[in-house]
Chains A and B, each alone.
Chain A
Amino acid sequence: MFPFTLHTEVAGELADIQFPYLDDVDIQLKNTAAFLDACQGKPSNVCTAEQGAILQEIVERIYQSAEK
């Protein structure tokens, strides 16, 4: 497996920087907490209703394109 890698240029040379020690996260717990934060008016990175509407529109356009 390849760990998370940043491909970039450092000091004039090409570099691949890896981050092999990222923590495991309980992503459901964190996402539910983010939703509850949003309900309470706190900053949150949960997917909003507006973003969901855009996402659904794009999914629909992909399906429509596929039918042509």
Chain B
Amino acid sequence: MSLLKAAIIGGGNIADNNHIPALNQLSEQVELVAVCSRDFSKARALADKHGIAHAFDNTAELYSQCAPDVVVICTPNNLHYPQTMEALSHNCHVFCEKPPALNAQNAREMADLAAKKGLTLAYNLQLRQTGEWTLLTRCKADGLLGEIYHIKAHFLRRRGIPGWGYFTNKAMQGGGALIDLGVHVLDLALLALGYPTPDQVLGNTYDFIGKAGGKGLMGSWNPSTFEVEDAATAYLSFPNKASIVLSASFALNQQADKERNLEVFGSKGALNCFPLRYTPK
């Protein structure tokens, strides 16, 4: 198997701390050849820091000069759709940060184009790799759970509205705690049920704390520019009567600073995967 040639689009924390180190550790399969960021000096600095040859401030030059096989997209959420479509049109496999896009139509078009082109498009929902999830899948396969019919999925922060980045900008992010944190545990809950589509969805979102302002535990935020939900809850019901209760928060007046939990209830047994260990470097 020849070495895959990879490029990173986006020069933020997730590229620097997660994707670039991982790709560099997998050097027997992949060679990271370029970093592309709107800010050239940022791209160059990141490339130099990690020993990557090329830096670009626009994707047109990236594709024409490097012709990558694989593109990793680590930009704000509003860029996932256009940059994924562009990468697929250049016949690249795409590893995109979550969430897939800002809306369902865009995510559907992304999946359709990948299928049409015969390319891999995948999303970085890395809680699937936790030891807890691996054990859950083994317990399920061994029949220890029986039929799974209810799941409680939580990804809650007490005062974790990020004080950096674009997390409170609705146009760029598409939402707040649900689209940023909730998707991680919703993904696992859906996976436990075989990834069905619910026939009923009931949701609520809140922004009491985000809009009022207050003490932050992940930096401070500006309540006057807070445009997203600080908390979301949802009840999903599926055609076979299975159900998911989901909650996600950037800010919620609870005791624990952070709480990530998946409780999976089956006819023979239940698993309490607490806490889901999410430990990016």
- Residue numbers of A with Cβ under 8 A of B are 1-2, 4-9, 19, 22-36, 38-40, 44-66
Contacts and interface: CB of A to CB of B under 8 A. Distances in A.
Majority DSSP secondary structure for residues of A touching B: helix
B95 A22 contact: no
B190 A51 contact: yes
Top 4 closest pairs, chain A to chain B, by CB: A62-B203, A8-B269, A56-B107, A49-B111
Contact of A27 (B121, B129, B190): B129
Interface of B: 1, 4, 18-19, 21-23, 25-26, 29-30, 69-70, 93, 95-96, 98-101, 103-104, 106-108, 110-111, 114-115, 120-132, 134-135, 139, 144, 175, 178-179, 182-183, 186-187, 190-191, 195, 197-198, 201-205, 229, 232, 234, 236, 246, 268-275, 277-281
Majority DSSP secondary structure for residues of B touching A: mixed
Given A28-B280, A53-B110, A66 B205 contact: yes
User: Which of the listed residues B23, B122, B127, B187 has the most CB atoms from chain A within 10 Å of its own CB?
Assistant: B122
Given A23-B131, A28-B126, A36 B4 contact: yes
Given A6-B269, A55-B107, 5 more contacts: A6-B139, A9-B269, A28-B281, A32-B22, A47-B128
Contacts of B186: 55, 58-59
A25 B108 CA distance: 32
B271 to A, nearest CB: 6
Contacts of B129: 25, 27-28, 30-31, 34, 45
Nearest to A37: B29
B128 A45 contact: yes
Nearest to B113: A49
A55 B115 CA distance: 17
Nearest to A38: B120
A51 B186 CA distance: 11
22 contacts: A2-B272, A4-B271, A22-B131, A28-B124, A28-B281, A29-B26, A36-B29, A36-B30, A40-B1, A45-B128, A46-B123, A47-B125, A48-B122, A52-B99, A52-B110, A53-B100, A56-B100, A56-B103, A56-B104, A62-B234, A62-B246, A65-B234
A57 B104 contact: yes
A66 B1 CA distance: 49
Contacts of B268: 8-9
User: Which of the listed residues A4, A19, A46, A63 has the most CB atoms from chain B within 10 Å of its own CB?
Assistant: A4
A7 B272 contact: yes
A50 B274 contact: no
Nearest to A18: B272
Contacts of B202: 65
B7 to A, nearest CB: 14
Contacts of B114: 49
User: Which of the listed residues A8, A28, A29, A32 has the most CB atoms from chain B within 10 Å of its own CB?
Assistant: A32
A55 B195 CA distance: 9
Nearest to A67: B205
A65 to B, nearest CB: 4
A23 B122 CA distance: 25
Nearest to B146: A8
Given A28-B126, A55-B187, A58-B201, A49 B115 contact: yes
